[in-house]
Amino acid sequence: MTISDILQLSSTIAAFLGLLFLAYQVKHARDEIKRGDLQRRHEAERLRCQATLEYARQTLDTRYQVWPELPDDFNAEAVSRFVRKCIAGTSRANLEAAFGYLGLLETFCIGIDRGIYDIDTADKLYGPRICAVAKNYWNLIEWRRNKTGTSTFYDGLEKVAIDFAVRRSIILAPLGTIQ
């Protein structure tokens, strides 16, 4: 073996080691990118959960203000009587309280549907309540849609209630008209 052969062999070995080092660096960079993506997804999920809890906390005073004027969301008979009074026009204050409350829930549900708020956290906080409101206030929601000619009033509430109901296997008839 000549000096020229040894130099060529050492050049080839150096090039091979260089390629191995480059391959290692590329793999390491890919692993770091994956780790970074995972951390960003985790942080985005944490921020959605935090936003959900903050919305719940920030709207607590508003909810406490309207709840005395409204029947218990879970008492279908009381809500039905209340809705009949609202539709009959016997109490403007009750109607405004109901629309304010439904609007508050609609805003929250649109945030859930758009991914601003975390659906799992929202379900734990309000799942049964949103299902009960959508079911028990259904006649008032339909009345408002018909009266205004706006078929999209409370679509967010209806959609999220259906999503939560499916998660819980609850039947919300007559809901289910969202397309």
What residues does each domain of the chain span?
1-46, 59-179
Q: For 84-130, what is each residue's pLDDT tens digit?
A: 999 998 888 899 999 999 999 999 999 999 999 999 999 999 999 99
The tokens for 38 are: 């995972």
Q: Which residue has the higher pLDDT, 40 or 79?
A: 79
Confidence grade of residue 8 (pLDDT, cut at 50, 70, 90): confident
Q: Give the whole-angstrom CA distance, residue 144 versus residue 153.
A: 8
The tokens for 60 are: 């607590």
Q: Which pLDDT score is estimated for 175?
A: 57
Q: Which of 57-66, 140-149, 162-171 has the highest mean pLDDT?
A: 140-149
Is the peptide bond prior to 128 cis by the omega test (within 30 degrees of 0)? no
Instruction: Name the percent of the chain lying above pLDDT 90.
Output: 50
